[in-house]
Amino acid sequence: MTYRTEIRFLLNGADVTVTDVPADKTLLDYLRLERRLTGSKEGCAEGDCGACTVLVGRLAGGGLKYETVNACIRFLASLDGCHVVTIEHLRGQNGGLHPIQQAMVDFHGSQCGFCTPGFVMSLYALWMGNPEPTETEIESAIQGNLCRCTGYQPIIAAAMAANRYGSPAQDFLETERVNITERLTALSDGRRVVTGPEDNQAILPADVADFAAVLEDFPQATIVAGSTDVGLWVTKFMRPIGPAVFISHLQELKSVTLSDTALEIGAGVTYSEAQETICETFPHLKSYWDRIAGQQVRNMGTIGGNIANGSPIGDTPPVLIALGAQIVLRKGAKQRSLPLEQFFIEYGKQDRAPSEFVESILIPRPRTGQLHAAYKISKRRDEDISSVAAGFNVTVSEGRITDCRLAFGGMAGTPKRAAKAEAALRGQPWGEAAFLAAGQALQADFTPLSDWRASAEYRAIAARNLLQRFFLTHDDRSEAPVDLLSA
Ligand SMILES: Cc1cc2nc3c(=O)[nH]c(=O)nc-3n(C[C@H](O)[C@H](O)[C@H](O)COP(=O)(O)OP(=O)(O)OC[C@H]3O[C@@H](n4cnc5c(N)ncnc54)[C@H](O)[C@@H]3O)c2cc1C
Ligand code: FES
Ligand code: FES
Protein backbone atom coordinates (compact mmCIF):
# COMPACT_ATOMS: atom_id res chain seq x y z
CA MET A 1 0.00 0.00 0.00
CA THR A 2 1.20 3.53 -0.75
CA TYR A 3 0.89 5.92 2.10
CA ARG A 4 1.58 9.51 2.91
CA THR A 5 4.32 10.38 5.38
CA GLU A 6 3.36 13.88 6.38
CA ILE A 7 0.53 15.53 8.31
CA ARG A 8 -1.31 18.31 6.47
CA PHE A 9 -3.66 20.78 8.06
CA LEU A 10 -4.58 24.46 8.25
CA LEU A 11 -3.16 26.48 11.11
CA ASN A 12 -5.01 29.79 11.43
CA GLY A 13 -4.63 31.24 7.90
CA ALA A 14 -1.76 29.03 6.71
CA ASP A 15 -1.54 25.66 4.97
CA VAL A 16 0.88 23.52 6.96
CA THR A 17 2.73 20.30 6.15
CA VAL A 18 4.72 18.60 8.89
CA THR A 19 6.90 15.59 8.23
CA ASP A 20 8.23 13.04 10.68
CA VAL A 21 5.60 13.67 13.38
CA PRO A 22 6.22 11.46 16.44
CA ALA A 23 3.13 9.79 17.86
CA ASP A 24 3.49 11.54 21.21
CA LYS A 25 4.00 15.14 20.06
CA THR A 26 1.20 17.28 21.50
CA LEU A 27 -0.44 20.12 19.64
CA LEU A 28 0.40 22.50 22.49
CA ASP A 29 4.12 21.73 22.32
CA TYR A 30 4.04 22.16 18.56
CA LEU A 31 2.25 25.53 18.82
CA ARG A 32 4.35 26.95 21.61
CA LEU A 33 7.79 25.48 20.95
CA GLU A 34 7.90 25.16 17.17
CA ARG A 35 5.53 27.87 15.95
CA ARG A 36 6.10 30.29 18.84
CA LEU A 37 2.34 30.69 19.14
CA THR A 38 2.49 31.18 22.89
CA GLY A 39 -1.01 32.59 23.39
CA SER A 40 -2.27 29.11 24.26
CA LYS A 41 -0.99 28.45 27.79
CA GLU A 42 0.07 25.33 29.62
CA GLY A 43 -1.57 25.33 33.03
CA CYS A 44 -1.96 21.67 33.94
CA ALA A 45 -1.05 19.59 30.85
CA GLU A 46 -3.86 17.18 31.71
CA GLY A 47 -7.01 18.61 30.18
CA ASP A 48 -8.28 20.14 33.42
CA CYS A 49 -7.70 23.89 33.34
CA GLY A 50 -8.58 24.89 29.75
CA ALA A 51 -5.72 27.41 29.43
CA CYS A 52 -4.60 25.63 26.25
CA THR A 53 -8.02 25.69 24.55
CA VAL A 54 -8.00 26.04 20.76
CA LEU A 55 -10.63 25.40 18.12
CA VAL A 56 -10.41 22.47 15.76
CA GLY A 57 -12.55 22.48 12.63
CA ARG A 58 -13.23 19.32 10.67
CA LEU A 59 -15.35 18.46 7.64
CA ALA A 60 -18.12 16.10 8.69
CA GLY A 61 -21.67 15.37 7.63
CA GLY A 62 -21.40 17.70 4.64
CA GLY A 63 -20.36 20.71 6.73
CA LEU A 64 -17.45 22.28 8.56
CA LYS A 65 -17.73 22.07 12.32
CA TYR A 66 -15.53 23.76 14.93
CA GLU A 67 -15.12 22.55 18.50
CA THR A 68 -12.97 23.48 21.45
CA VAL A 69 -10.24 21.03 22.41
CA ASN A 70 -7.42 20.90 24.94
CA ALA A 71 -4.22 21.33 22.91
CA CYS A 72 -2.15 19.91 25.81
CA ILE A 73 -3.56 16.39 25.42
CA ARG A 74 -4.37 16.46 21.72
CA PHE A 75 -1.69 14.88 19.55
CA LEU A 76 -0.44 16.76 16.51
CA ALA A 77 -0.78 13.69 14.28
CA SER A 78 -4.52 13.55 14.93
CA LEU A 79 -4.99 16.94 13.24
CA ASP A 80 -4.45 15.74 9.71
CA GLY A 81 -7.14 17.34 7.54
CA CYS A 82 -8.27 19.78 10.26
CA HIS A 83 -8.31 23.56 10.71
CA VAL A 84 -6.62 24.62 13.95
CA VAL A 85 -7.57 28.08 15.19
CA THR A 86 -5.57 29.62 18.03
CA ILE A 87 -6.07 32.79 20.03
CA GLU A 88 -3.52 34.58 17.80
CA HIS A 89 -5.94 34.35 14.88
CA LEU A 90 -8.81 36.18 16.56
CA ARG A 91 -9.46 39.64 15.22
CA GLY A 92 -12.22 42.21 15.08
CA GLN A 93 -13.69 43.95 12.08
CA ASN A 94 -11.06 46.67 11.66
CA GLY A 95 -8.06 44.86 13.03
CA GLY A 96 -9.16 45.65 16.60
CA LEU A 97 -10.11 43.24 19.33
CA HIS A 98 -12.50 40.43 18.56
CA PRO A 99 -16.01 40.93 20.04
CA ILE A 100 -15.35 38.26 22.69
CA GLN A 101 -12.04 39.88 23.64
CA GLN A 102 -13.58 43.35 23.83
CA ALA A 103 -16.43 42.07 26.01
CA MET A 104 -13.88 40.40 28.33
CA VAL A 105 -12.00 43.71 28.63
CA ASP A 106 -15.11 45.79 29.25
CA PHE A 107 -16.58 43.40 31.82
CA HIS A 108 -13.26 42.87 33.65
CA GLY A 109 -13.19 39.20 32.74
CA SER A 110 -9.41 39.05 33.01
CA GLN A 111 -7.05 39.73 35.93
CA CYS A 112 -3.70 37.91 35.85
CA GLY A 113 -4.66 36.82 32.33
CA PHE A 114 -3.23 33.32 32.37
CA CYS A 115 -6.58 31.64 31.84
CA THR A 116 -7.92 34.33 29.49
CA PRO A 117 -6.95 32.95 26.06
CA GLY A 118 -8.59 29.66 26.98
CA PHE A 119 -11.77 31.33 28.19
CA VAL A 120 -11.90 33.51 25.07
CA MET A 121 -11.65 30.43 22.84
CA SER A 122 -14.38 28.60 24.76
CA LEU A 123 -16.67 31.64 24.65
CA TYR A 124 -15.83 32.17 20.99
CA ALA A 125 -17.00 28.64 20.14
CA LEU A 126 -20.16 29.19 22.17
CA TRP A 127 -20.93 32.56 20.53
CA MET A 128 -20.42 31.14 17.02
CA GLY A 129 -23.02 28.44 17.60
CA ASN A 130 -25.28 30.19 20.08
CA PRO A 131 -24.93 34.01 20.12
CA GLU A 132 -27.59 34.53 22.82
CA PRO A 133 -26.72 31.85 25.40
CA THR A 134 -28.38 31.43 28.76
CA GLU A 135 -26.30 31.51 31.91
CA THR A 136 -26.60 27.72 32.16
CA GLU A 137 -25.30 27.32 28.61
CA ILE A 138 -22.38 29.63 29.39
CA GLU A 139 -21.55 27.65 32.52
CA SER A 140 -21.59 24.46 30.49
CA ALA A 141 -19.31 25.98 27.81
CA ILE A 142 -16.73 27.05 30.42
CA GLN A 143 -16.97 23.95 32.64
CA GLY A 144 -13.51 23.00 31.39
CA ASN A 145 -11.88 26.39 32.06
CA LEU A 146 -10.49 27.32 35.46
CA CYS A 147 -9.83 30.85 36.69
CA ARG A 148 -8.29 31.48 40.07
CA CYS A 149 -8.74 35.28 39.97
CA THR A 150 -12.08 36.56 38.72
CA GLY A 151 -14.66 34.44 40.48
CA TYR A 152 -16.22 33.76 37.04
CA GLN A 153 -19.06 36.30 37.33
CA PRO A 154 -17.34 38.95 35.13
CA ILE A 155 -16.56 36.25 32.55
CA ILE A 156 -20.19 35.14 32.49
CA ALA A 157 -21.29 38.78 32.18
CA ALA A 158 -18.92 39.23 29.23
CA ALA A 159 -20.34 36.11 27.58
CA MET A 160 -23.90 37.36 28.07
CA ALA A 161 -22.98 40.68 26.42
CA ALA A 162 -20.76 39.36 23.60
CA ASN A 163 -23.41 39.48 20.94
CA ARG A 164 -23.74 43.24 21.38
CA TYR A 165 -20.13 43.58 20.18
CA GLY A 166 -20.52 41.81 16.88
CA SER A 167 -22.39 39.15 14.99
CA PRO A 168 -21.04 35.67 14.24
CA ALA A 169 -22.22 36.16 10.63
CA GLN A 170 -19.45 38.75 10.21
CA ASP A 171 -16.82 36.67 11.93
CA PHE A 172 -13.85 35.55 9.83
CA LEU A 173 -14.62 31.85 10.37
CA GLU A 174 -18.04 32.45 8.84
CA THR A 175 -16.97 34.73 5.99
CA GLU A 176 -14.09 32.39 5.12
CA ARG A 177 -16.12 29.19 5.49
CA VAL A 178 -16.28 28.38 1.76
CA ASN A 179 -12.59 29.00 1.27
CA ILE A 180 -11.61 26.90 4.29
CA THR A 181 -13.97 24.11 3.24
CA GLU A 182 -12.36 23.99 -0.19
CA ARG A 183 -8.87 23.93 1.25
CA LEU A 184 -9.72 21.16 3.72
CA THR A 185 -11.43 19.16 0.99
CA ALA A 186 -8.28 19.41 -1.10
CA LEU A 187 -6.27 17.98 1.81
CA SER A 188 -8.27 14.76 2.11
CA ASP A 189 -6.77 12.20 -0.26
CA GLY A 190 -8.19 9.11 1.53
CA ARG A 191 -4.73 7.58 2.03
CA ARG A 192 -3.16 5.96 5.06
CA VAL A 193 -0.67 8.24 6.82
CA VAL A 194 2.45 6.83 8.46
CA THR A 195 4.80 9.32 10.04
CA GLY A 196 7.37 9.70 12.80
CA PRO A 197 10.46 7.76 13.78
CA GLU A 198 10.46 3.95 13.70
CA ASP A 199 10.07 3.59 17.48
CA ASN A 200 7.44 6.32 17.86
CA GLN A 201 5.34 6.04 14.75
CA ALA A 202 1.92 7.61 14.21
CA ILE A 203 -0.39 5.74 11.86
CA LEU A 204 -3.67 7.15 10.54
CA PRO A 205 -5.61 4.41 8.77
CA ALA A 206 -7.49 5.29 5.59
CA ASP A 207 -10.77 3.75 6.83
CA VAL A 208 -12.07 1.18 9.31
CA ALA A 209 -11.02 -1.82 7.17
CA ASP A 210 -7.55 -0.31 7.05
CA PHE A 211 -7.66 0.27 10.83
CA ALA A 212 -8.36 -3.45 11.26
CA ALA A 213 -5.48 -4.25 8.91
CA VAL A 214 -3.07 -1.94 10.77
CA LEU A 215 -3.95 -3.67 14.05
CA GLU A 216 -3.27 -7.08 12.49
CA ASP A 217 0.22 -5.82 11.56
CA PHE A 218 0.77 -4.03 14.89
CA PRO A 219 -1.24 -5.96 17.53
CA GLN A 220 0.39 -4.06 20.39
CA ALA A 221 -0.12 -0.59 18.91
CA THR A 222 -1.76 2.03 21.09
CA ILE A 223 -5.19 2.95 19.76
CA VAL A 224 -5.76 6.68 20.17
CA ALA A 225 -9.31 7.97 19.83
CA GLY A 226 -9.95 11.28 21.65
CA SER A 227 -6.66 11.01 23.61
CA THR A 228 -8.27 12.29 26.81
CA ASP A 229 -6.80 9.28 28.60
CA VAL A 230 -3.81 8.51 26.36
CA GLY A 231 -2.77 12.18 26.35
CA LEU A 232 -2.11 11.96 30.07
CA TRP A 233 -0.04 8.80 29.69
CA VAL A 234 2.38 11.02 27.79
CA THR A 235 2.17 14.34 29.64
CA LYS A 236 1.93 12.92 33.18
CA PHE A 237 3.52 9.49 33.06
CA MET A 238 6.04 9.97 30.21
CA ARG A 239 4.91 6.65 28.77
CA PRO A 240 5.92 5.79 25.22
CA ILE A 241 2.84 5.20 23.03
CA GLY A 242 4.38 4.40 19.65
CA PRO A 243 3.39 2.87 17.40
CA ALA A 244 0.05 4.60 17.82
CA VAL A 245 -3.00 4.23 15.59
CA PHE A 246 -5.08 7.40 15.46
CA ILE A 247 -8.78 6.90 14.76
CA SER A 248 -10.57 10.17 15.54
CA HIS A 249 -10.88 10.95 11.82
CA LEU A 250 -12.66 7.68 10.92
CA GLN A 251 -16.21 8.68 10.03
CA GLU A 252 -17.39 5.04 9.92
CA LEU A 253 -16.81 4.86 13.68
CA LYS A 254 -18.90 7.98 14.19
CA SER A 255 -22.38 6.81 13.27
CA VAL A 256 -25.29 7.23 15.66
CA THR A 257 -28.25 5.13 14.49
CA LEU A 258 -31.59 4.95 16.21
CA SER A 259 -33.80 2.03 15.16
CA ASP A 260 -37.14 0.88 16.57
CA THR A 261 -35.36 -1.38 19.01
CA ALA A 262 -31.92 0.06 19.76
CA LEU A 263 -29.50 2.95 19.61
CA GLU A 264 -26.21 2.00 17.97
CA ILE A 265 -23.26 4.27 18.69
CA GLY A 266 -19.95 3.96 16.86
CA ALA A 267 -16.94 3.61 19.16
CA GLY A 268 -15.49 6.87 17.83
CA VAL A 269 -18.52 8.99 18.71
CA THR A 270 -17.62 11.69 21.22
CA TYR A 271 -19.69 12.65 24.23
CA SER A 272 -20.71 15.86 22.45
CA GLU A 273 -21.69 14.04 19.26
CA ALA A 274 -23.80 11.50 21.17
CA GLN A 275 -25.35 13.99 23.57
CA GLU A 276 -28.49 15.02 21.69
CA THR A 277 -29.63 11.55 20.64
CA ILE A 278 -28.65 9.85 23.85
CA CYS A 279 -30.46 12.39 26.02
CA GLU A 280 -33.58 12.30 23.85
CA THR A 281 -33.66 8.51 23.87
CA PHE A 282 -32.75 8.15 27.55
CA PRO A 283 -33.97 11.35 29.26
CA HIS A 284 -32.63 10.23 32.64
CA LEU A 285 -29.09 10.63 31.24
CA LYS A 286 -29.42 14.35 30.51
CA SER A 287 -28.07 15.79 33.75
CA TYR A 288 -25.63 12.88 34.08
CA TRP A 289 -24.11 13.64 30.65
CA ASP A 290 -23.56 17.29 31.64
CA ARG A 291 -21.50 16.03 34.56
CA ILE A 292 -19.00 14.17 32.38
CA ALA A 293 -15.75 16.16 32.24
CA GLY A 294 -15.87 19.68 30.71
CA GLN A 295 -16.79 20.83 27.21
CA GLN A 296 -13.34 20.38 25.64
CA VAL A 297 -13.01 16.82 26.93
CA ARG A 298 -16.58 16.04 25.88
CA ASN A 299 -15.66 17.27 22.39
CA MET A 300 -12.67 14.90 22.24
CA GLY A 301 -13.42 11.91 24.48
CA THR A 302 -15.28 8.97 22.97
CA ILE A 303 -17.68 6.45 24.45
CA GLY A 304 -15.55 3.67 22.92
CA GLY A 305 -12.49 5.04 24.72
CA ASN A 306 -14.37 5.28 28.01
CA ILE A 307 -15.25 1.58 27.77
CA ALA A 308 -12.00 0.30 26.25
CA ASN A 309 -9.84 1.90 28.92
CA GLY A 310 -11.38 -0.57 31.39
CA SER A 311 -11.46 1.99 34.18
CA PRO A 312 -13.60 1.06 37.19
CA ILE A 313 -14.59 4.73 37.48
CA GLY A 314 -15.54 5.57 33.89
CA ASP A 315 -18.95 7.20 33.78
CA THR A 316 -20.58 5.47 30.84
CA PRO A 317 -20.12 1.74 31.70
CA PRO A 318 -22.45 1.62 34.75
CA VAL A 319 -25.31 3.41 33.01
CA LEU A 320 -24.85 1.46 29.77
CA ILE A 321 -24.68 -1.87 31.63
CA ALA A 322 -27.89 -0.96 33.46
CA LEU A 323 -29.55 -0.29 30.11
CA GLY A 324 -28.50 -3.73 28.85
CA ALA A 325 -25.93 -2.52 26.30
CA GLN A 326 -23.96 -4.88 24.10
CA ILE A 327 -20.44 -4.13 22.92
CA VAL A 328 -19.41 -5.01 19.36
CA LEU A 329 -15.75 -5.96 18.91
CA ARG A 330 -13.96 -6.46 15.63
CA LYS A 331 -10.77 -8.19 14.56
CA GLY A 332 -10.01 -8.10 10.86
CA ALA A 333 -13.43 -8.50 9.23
CA LYS A 334 -14.77 -10.65 12.07
CA GLN A 335 -17.19 -9.15 14.58
CA ARG A 336 -18.47 -10.49 17.86
CA SER A 337 -20.72 -8.96 20.46
CA LEU A 338 -21.18 -9.53 24.16
CA PRO A 339 -23.06 -7.96 27.05
CA LEU A 340 -21.04 -4.96 28.15
CA GLU A 341 -20.61 -6.24 31.72
CA GLN A 342 -18.79 -9.31 30.38
CA PHE A 343 -16.18 -7.11 28.69
CA PHE A 344 -14.75 -6.16 32.09
CA ILE A 345 -12.98 -9.23 33.47
CA GLU A 346 -11.00 -7.78 36.36
CA TYR A 347 -9.06 -4.63 37.15
CA GLY A 348 -6.85 -3.84 34.14
CA LYS A 349 -8.12 -6.84 32.16
CA GLN A 350 -10.81 -6.73 29.48
CA ASP A 351 -12.14 -9.33 27.07
CA ARG A 352 -10.29 -7.89 24.06
CA ALA A 353 -7.84 -9.95 22.03
CA PRO A 354 -4.69 -8.51 20.42
CA SER A 355 -5.62 -6.75 17.13
CA GLU A 356 -9.23 -6.50 18.25
CA PHE A 357 -10.95 -3.15 18.69
CA VAL A 358 -14.26 -1.79 19.94
CA GLU A 359 -16.41 -1.00 16.94
CA SER A 360 -19.77 0.03 18.39
CA ILE A 361 -22.14 -0.11 21.32
CA LEU A 362 -25.74 -1.24 21.00
CA ILE A 363 -28.21 0.03 23.61
CA PRO A 364 -31.77 -1.33 23.68
CA ARG A 365 -34.42 1.40 23.71
CA PRO A 366 -36.35 1.83 26.95
CA ARG A 367 -39.45 -0.29 27.33
CA THR A 368 -42.74 0.44 29.04
CA GLY A 369 -42.59 -0.39 32.72
CA GLN A 370 -38.89 0.36 33.08
CA LEU A 371 -37.78 2.94 35.63
CA HIS A 372 -34.34 4.42 35.08
CA ALA A 373 -31.85 6.50 36.98
CA ALA A 374 -28.21 7.54 36.62
CA TYR A 375 -26.23 9.01 39.51
CA LYS A 376 -22.72 10.43 39.79
CA ILE A 377 -21.07 11.28 43.08
CA SER A 378 -17.85 13.26 42.86
CA LYS A 379 -16.06 15.81 45.01
CA ARG A 380 -16.68 18.65 42.53
CA ARG A 381 -19.80 19.09 40.43
CA ASP A 382 -17.88 19.93 37.27
CA GLU A 383 -14.88 18.31 35.59
CA ASP A 384 -14.37 15.58 38.14
CA ILE A 385 -14.10 11.81 38.10
CA SER A 386 -16.72 9.80 39.99
CA SER A 387 -16.19 8.42 43.46
CA VAL A 388 -19.30 6.32 42.87
CA ALA A 389 -21.48 6.14 39.76
CA ALA A 390 -24.63 4.13 39.36
CA GLY A 391 -27.11 3.14 36.68
CA PHE A 392 -30.45 1.57 37.64
CA ASN A 393 -33.06 -0.01 35.41
CA VAL A 394 -35.99 -1.56 37.26
CA THR A 395 -38.99 -3.07 35.50
CA VAL A 396 -42.27 -2.96 37.37
CA SER A 397 -45.44 -4.68 36.28
CA GLU A 398 -48.68 -4.58 38.24
CA GLY A 399 -46.91 -3.39 41.35
CA ARG A 400 -44.24 -6.10 41.28
CA ILE A 401 -40.56 -5.81 40.33
CA THR A 402 -40.23 -8.24 37.47
CA ASP A 403 -36.66 -7.42 36.42
CA CYS A 404 -33.81 -5.16 37.43
CA ARG A 405 -30.29 -4.20 36.49
CA LEU A 406 -28.25 -2.29 39.05
CA ALA A 407 -24.73 -1.36 37.95
CA PHE A 408 -22.06 0.55 39.84
CA GLY A 409 -18.74 2.21 39.12
CA GLY A 410 -16.16 2.95 41.83
CA MET A 411 -17.27 0.00 43.96
CA ALA A 412 -14.97 -2.73 42.62
CA GLY A 413 -12.03 -3.26 40.26
CA THR A 414 -14.42 -3.07 37.31
CA PRO A 415 -17.81 -1.55 36.58
CA LYS A 416 -20.09 -4.25 37.96
CA ARG A 417 -23.69 -5.33 38.47
CA ALA A 418 -24.94 -5.78 42.02
CA ALA A 419 -26.13 -9.38 41.64
CA LYS A 420 -27.27 -9.90 45.24
CA ALA A 421 -29.13 -6.61 45.44
CA GLU A 422 -30.82 -7.41 42.12
CA ALA A 423 -31.88 -10.81 43.47
CA ALA A 424 -33.31 -9.12 46.55
CA LEU A 425 -35.52 -6.92 44.37
CA ARG A 426 -36.55 -9.34 41.65
CA GLY A 427 -40.07 -10.73 42.14
CA GLN A 428 -40.80 -8.50 45.13
CA PRO A 429 -43.73 -6.10 45.42
CA TRP A 430 -42.62 -2.51 44.76
CA GLY A 431 -42.12 -0.88 48.15
CA GLU A 432 -39.70 0.30 50.77
CA ALA A 433 -39.20 -3.17 52.25
CA ALA A 434 -37.80 -4.50 48.97
CA PHE A 435 -35.36 -1.60 48.62
CA LEU A 436 -34.21 -1.82 52.24
CA ALA A 437 -33.49 -5.52 51.70
CA ALA A 438 -31.66 -4.70 48.46
CA GLY A 439 -29.58 -2.08 50.31
CA GLN A 440 -28.59 -4.77 52.84
CA ALA A 441 -27.72 -7.22 50.06
CA LEU A 442 -25.62 -4.56 48.37
CA GLN A 443 -23.14 -4.75 51.26
CA ALA A 444 -22.38 -8.33 50.22
CA ASP A 445 -22.04 -7.41 46.55
CA PHE A 446 -19.04 -5.10 46.94
CA THR A 447 -15.90 -4.59 49.00
CA PRO A 448 -14.94 -1.11 47.83
CA LEU A 449 -11.48 0.37 48.24
CA SER A 450 -10.41 3.55 49.99
CA ASP A 451 -8.51 6.07 47.91
CA TRP A 452 -8.15 9.82 47.78
CA ARG A 453 -11.54 10.15 46.08
CA ALA A 454 -13.50 8.41 48.84
CA SER A 455 -13.15 5.94 51.69
CA ALA A 456 -14.50 2.41 51.40
CA GLU A 457 -17.08 3.20 54.07
CA TYR A 458 -18.24 6.33 52.25
CA ARG A 459 -18.62 4.40 49.01
CA ALA A 460 -20.64 1.63 50.65
CA ILE A 461 -22.99 4.09 52.34
CA ALA A 462 -23.34 6.24 49.22
CA ALA A 463 -24.22 3.24 47.06
CA ARG A 464 -26.90 2.09 49.50
CA ASN A 465 -28.31 5.60 49.71
CA LEU A 466 -28.49 5.86 45.92
CA LEU A 467 -30.72 2.81 45.92
CA GLN A 468 -32.89 4.42 48.55
CA ARG A 469 -32.94 7.65 46.55
CA PHE A 470 -34.08 5.74 43.49
CA PHE A 471 -36.96 4.25 45.44
CA LEU A 472 -38.03 7.57 46.96
CA THR A 473 -37.77 9.42 43.62
CA HIS A 474 -40.03 6.96 41.90
CA ASP A 475 -42.39 6.49 44.80
CA ASP A 476 -43.18 10.10 45.54
CA ARG A 477 -46.55 10.43 43.82
CA SER A 478 -48.49 7.33 44.83
CA GLU A 479 -48.17 3.85 46.23
CA ALA A 480 -47.76 2.56 42.71
CA PRO A 481 -44.47 3.41 40.96
CA VAL A 482 -44.48 6.05 38.26
CA ASP A 483 -43.58 4.90 34.77
CA LEU A 484 -41.37 7.71 33.51
CA LEU A 485 -41.97 6.72 29.90
CA SER A 486 -45.64 7.44 30.07
CA ALA A 487 -45.51 10.13 32.80
C1 LIG B 1 -9.97 16.65 32.35
C2 LIG B 1 -10.57 15.30 32.18
C3 LIG B 1 -11.81 15.03 32.73
C4 LIG B 1 -12.38 13.77 32.58
N5 LIG B 1 -13.60 13.55 33.13
C6 LIG B 1 -14.17 12.34 32.99
C7 LIG B 1 -15.45 12.09 33.55
O8 LIG B 1 -16.09 12.97 34.13
N9 LIG B 1 -15.96 10.85 33.41
C10 LIG B 1 -15.29 9.85 32.77
O11 LIG B 1 -15.79 8.74 32.66
N12 LIG B 1 -14.08 10.07 32.22
C13 LIG B 1 -13.52 11.28 32.31
N14 LIG B 1 -12.28 11.51 31.78
C15 LIG B 1 -11.56 10.40 31.13
C16 LIG B 1 -11.72 10.34 29.60
O17 LIG B 1 -12.16 11.56 29.10
C18 LIG B 1 -12.71 9.27 29.16
O19 LIG B 1 -12.32 8.01 29.65
C20 LIG B 1 -12.86 9.21 27.65
O21 LIG B 1 -14.09 8.66 27.33
C22 LIG B 1 -11.75 8.45 26.95
O23 LIG B 1 -12.04 8.45 25.57
P24 LIG B 1 -10.94 8.85 24.49
O25 LIG B 1 -11.59 8.75 23.17
O26 LIG B 1 -10.33 10.15 24.83
O27 LIG B 1 -9.91 7.67 24.71
P28 LIG B 1 -8.35 7.60 24.45
O29 LIG B 1 -7.62 8.39 25.45
O30 LIG B 1 -8.05 7.86 23.03
O31 LIG B 1 -8.16 6.03 24.73
C32 LIG B 1 -8.48 5.47 26.00
C33 LIG B 1 -8.18 3.97 25.99
O34 LIG B 1 -9.08 3.30 25.14
C35 LIG B 1 -8.39 2.65 24.05
N36 LIG B 1 -9.28 2.80 22.90
C37 LIG B 1 -9.84 3.95 22.43
N38 LIG B 1 -10.70 3.68 21.44
C39 LIG B 1 -10.68 2.34 21.27
C40 LIG B 1 -11.35 1.43 20.39
N41 LIG B 1 -12.25 1.85 19.50
N42 LIG B 1 -11.08 0.11 20.49
C43 LIG B 1 -10.19 -0.34 21.41
N44 LIG B 1 -9.52 0.45 22.26
C45 LIG B 1 -9.76 1.78 22.19
C46 LIG B 1 -7.06 3.33 23.98
O47 LIG B 1 -6.07 2.52 23.42
C48 LIG B 1 -6.80 3.62 25.45
O49 LIG B 1 -6.37 2.45 26.08
C50 LIG B 1 -11.69 12.76 31.88
C51 LIG B 1 -10.45 13.03 31.29
C52 LIG B 1 -9.89 14.29 31.44
C53 LIG B 1 -8.59 14.58 30.81
S1 FES C 1 -2.95 23.03 30.02
FE2 FES C 1 -4.63 22.73 31.36
S3 FES C 1 -6.13 21.90 30.05
FE4 FES C 1 -4.41 22.02 28.81
S1 FES D 1 -7.50 35.86 35.38
FE2 FES D 1 -6.02 34.90 36.60
S3 FES D 1 -6.47 32.80 36.40
FE4 FES D 1 -8.10 33.78 35.44
Tens of pLDDT along the chain (487 residues)?
789 999 999 999 999 999 999 999 999 999 999 999 999 999 999 999 999 999 999 998 889 999 999 999 999 999 999 999 999 999 988 889 999 999 999 999 999 999 999 999 999 999 999 999 999 999 999 999 999 999 999 999 999 999 999 999 999 999 999 999 999 999 989 999 999 999 999 999 999 999 999 999 999 999 999 999 999 999 999 999 999 999 999 999 999 999 999 999 999 999 999 999 999 999 999 999 999 999 999 999 999 999 999 999 999 999 999 999 999 999 999 999 999 999 999 999 999 999 999 999 999 999 999 999 999 999 988 889 999 999 999 999 999 999 999 999 999 999 999 999 999 999 999 999 999 999 999 999 999 999 989 999 999 999 999 999 999 999 964 444 444 443 3
- Give the list of residues 6+ apart from residue 202 with CB closer than 8 angstroms, or none: 7, 21, 22, 23, 75, 77, 193, 194, 195, 196, 242, 243, 244, 246
Ligand 1 center–CA 303 separation, angstroms: 7
DSSP string, 11-29: ETTEEEEEES--TT-BHHH
pTM of the shown model: 0.96
44 Cα nearest atom in ligand 2: 2
201 within ligand 1 shell (Cβ under 6 A): no
- Run of H or E residues at 197: none
Atom 14 of ligand 1: nearest residue by CA position = 293
Ligand 2 center–CA 215 separation, angstroms: 31
Q: Are 192 and 204 a contacting pair, CB within 8 Å?
A: yes
Among 147, 152, 153, 156, name the best residue to mutate to test ligand 3's pocket (greatest count of ligand atoms within 8 A of Cβ). Answer: 147
DSSP letter at 481 equals P
Q: Are 317 and 325 a contacting pair, CB within 8 Å?
A: no
44 within ligand 2 shell (Cβ under 6 A): yes
293 within ligand 1 shell (Cβ under 6 A): yes
Residue 234's region, left for phi above 0, alpha for psi from -120 to 50, else beta, is alpha
| CA-to-CA separations, 109 to 98, 155, 160, 288, 322, in angstroms, rounded | 14, 4, 12, 29, 43
Ligand 3 center–CA 315 separation, angstroms: 30
Ligand 3 center–CA 150 separation, angstroms: 6
- Distance between CA atoms of 151 and 65, rounded to whole angstroms? 31
Instruction: Give the residues surrounding ligand 3 with Cβ less than 6 Å away.
Output: 110-116, 147-150
How far is it between the farthest Cα atoms of the chain?
A: 71
Atom 3 of ligand 3: nearest residue by CA position = 147
- Distance between CA atoms of 245 and 3, rounded to whole angstroms? 14
Burial per residue of 336-366, b for 16 or more beta-carbon CB atoms within 10 angstroms, e otherwise: eeeebbebbeeeeebebeebbbbbbbbbeeb
Ligand 2 center–CA 113 separation, angstroms: 15
